[in-house]
Amino acid sequence: MSLQTPAVDPPEWLRTLPVAPEYHPTLAEFANPIAYILRIEPEASRYGICKIVPPLPLPPEEDTFRRLEASFASNAAASGSGDAPPAPTFPTRLQQVGFSTKNRRPASRRVWESGERYTLEAFRAKALQFEPPRHAAPPKNATHLQLEALFWGACASRPFSVEYGNDMPGSGFATPEELSASKVTAPSDVGDTEWNMRVAPRARGSLLRAMGRDVAGVTTPMLYVAMLYSWFAWHVEDHELHSLNFLHFGKSKTWYGVPRDAMLAFEETVRVHGYADDLNAIMVATGTSATERGICPLLRIAPCTASSTYQSGGPSSIQLDKLKFPKAVVGKGDVKKIS
């Protein structure tokens, strides 16, 4: 007789977590990304994170899949994998979820280990077969809130590992050369617009147009492939730039953000509860320390993306493009913005 999955009762702090703003631009508003971002900036910047729902569909999945495979093959060739032609595989890292309650400095534990190489199909199959331990096992037809509750509960329970492919150059969108050759007069999907992650950094009005060479993750996108309970550490974007993220396919992804006005309070919370008030450990790990106390608000983006803003991601399966540029759950075809 199999053990029954424990009931999931989300804690009050999670049930009452504020939801970041969600925007639904018209096709005319969507035509100019920089102008639209500047338009919503006054409101979105108070939250640090938001979700933009495009008025256009996703590019065809088969085209996206083909471009992702081409990106992975190119990365494999650049890394000298020895394959001829290089296989469209990508490396993963093992991520630890949970920690021993005997560890007084949970934030200083080692959580990244080398994983394996996968094709997209192989990783998808493994993600579907993944069975978390009983204390993190979701019930049938689990809601987003139940998954979040299980994730945060697992973070403070017995450790287990998941796999995550991160920071990989490439994109599921068409290249500028493909767009030019297709001679599109009216966009049929998001990839035909300047929100295409290969195009957005140098879109009209962007200061990044002045950069003479590409920088991965800044002027060109990065790819991330994840499974249930994969996560990304709390962080401020490189050089405090805005960030755009696009979910190509897979389950929805939950993002959390801390408003910039709460940055010091958040750092204080991490110092006290993550590092057990050990300033030496913080200096080694981050090179920073916090000096002020206060209440630290947290936000989420509703199921379905503002300066010196902390963000973190988890706990659902994703495949997305990312660029540097409250909680949000981003679904396929949605854009998440950090400002």
- Counting residues of the chain whose pLDDT is more than 70, the rounded percentage is 74
Res 118 pLDDT > 50: yes
Residues 295, 297, 298, 303: is their CA dihedral positive or negative? Answer: positive
- pLDDT at 307 (0 to 100): 33
pTM score, two decimals?
0.82
Residues 302, 192, 179, 250: is their CA dihedral positive or negative? Answer: positive
Q: Which CATH class is domain 12-259+297-338?
A: mainly beta
Measured distance CA(327)–CA(339) in Å, rounded: 14
Res 34 pLDDT > 90: yes
What's the pLDDT tens digit per position in 171-220?
999 999 999 888 777 899 999 999 999 999 999 999 888 888 988 888 99
Res 59 pLDDT > 70: yes
- pLDDT at 75 (0 to 100): 92
Measured distance CA(128)–CA(120) in Å, rounded: 12
Average pLDDT of the chain is 80
- pLDDT at 200 (0 to 100): 92
- pLDDT at 270 (0 to 100): 81
